[in-house]
Structure 1
Amino acid sequence: MENKEVNEEVNEKRRITPERALEMLQADGLDVTLEQAKNILEFLRKLANITVSKYLKRRQ
């Protein structure tokens, strides 16, 4: 599978692409690069995963 195909498959699951995140951040007045937008998305995904995991552990 080509890298582009893998990225498209991942983007279907995650829905927000780095390009879309860049547009959203710039619309809010933040001057970021595409690489920074990718890093921000990675961080937010990790934070979301940690939050969900902690929530589910507390429910048990």
Structure 2
Amino acid sequence: MYSQKRNVTPTKAVEILEKHGTKVSLEEAKLILDFMYKFGKLAIDTELKALEIRFKQNAK
């Protein structure tokens, strides 16, 4: 899953979460980041698909 470049490392995620009072292990941080990247990709893909549909409807 780490073939793509990621800006936030699991170590950095642990540090950020600790600053906000949430303690997670390095393994948990990896899972959280995997979920966030997958969810982000899904959200972008969904919005692009909606834009494509709107564009096609407006072109008629």
Does 1 or 2 have the higher relative contact order (CA < 8 Å, sep 6+)?
Answer: 2
Q: Does 1:20 align with 2:28?
A: no
Give the structure-2-normalised TM-score.
0.77
**TM-score of the pair, normalised by structure 1:** 0.77
What is the aligned-residue identity percentage? Answer: 37
| Pairwise CA distance, 1:50 | 0.3
CA distance in 2, matches of 1:45, 1:15: 11
Larger radius of gyration: 2
Query: Superposition RMSD on alpha carbons, in Å?
Result: 1.5
Q: Greater helix percent: which structure? A: 1
Unaligned 5+ runs, structure 1: 1-6
Displaced runs of 4+ in structure 1, greater than 4 A? none
Q: Please, which runs of 5 or more residues in structure 2 have no aligned partner?
A: 53-60
